[in-house]
Amino acid sequence: MNRPSGGSWLHRSARGAVSGSAGHGRAVGELAAAARAGDAAGVAQLLRPGVVLTVDGGGVVAAPDAAVEGVTPVASFLVDLLTQPRAAVRVESVNGVPGIVVCRDGRVVGVLSVRVRGRRILEAWLVANPDKLTRWTC
């Protein structure tokens, strides 16, 4: 398994090896599809009330100072991230379960991991710190 330096919790499993519950995989796939389409309402429907998104920019890239909380703010943030110009979004194994890898201009700019409860996303973590993404490829 590839682990980014610095003891990060974020790692890529063997390519193609994606596990987790069917509900988890479905939620991630639907999130990727809705985000690619710029469908903020579709993204919002996949989020549980009280959803929390934590972003790790490492002080290197712009990131919110605190966790983003609530369906509308989280949906807006995710749609903005996943529909940036020249962004490519794909579902890949992140820590052994489906997650989303965001590439732009041939490099990984973010890896999104989520926790799902009952087909809806309860928590999300976005690693955008380039120091923690060095072993990820597009």
Could you tell me the pLDDT band of residue 20, with boundaries at 50, 70 and 90? low
More confident residue, 1 or 115: 115
Q: Which residues contact 80 (CB under 8 A, 6 or more apart)?
A: none
Range 95-124 average pLDDT:
93
More confident residue, 70 or 10: 70
98, 138, 124, 132: which is closest to 4 by C-alpha?
132
**How many angstroms separate the Cα of 38 from the Cα of each of 34, 66, 86?**
6, 24, 14
More confident residue, 20 or 50: 50
Could you tell me the pLDDT band of residue 16, with boundaries at 50, 70 and 90? very low
Domains and CATH numbers, the chain: 22-132 (3.10.450.50)
Write down the mean pLDDT value for the chain. Answer: 84
133, 127, 114: which is closest to 43 by C-alpha?
114
pLDDT at 62: 87
Predicted TM-score of the model (pTM) = 0.82
pLDDT at 84: 83
**CA 49 to chain CA centroid, nearest Å:** 18
pLDDT in tens, 85-107: 888 999 999 988 999 999 999 99
pLDDT cut 70: percent of the chain above it: 86
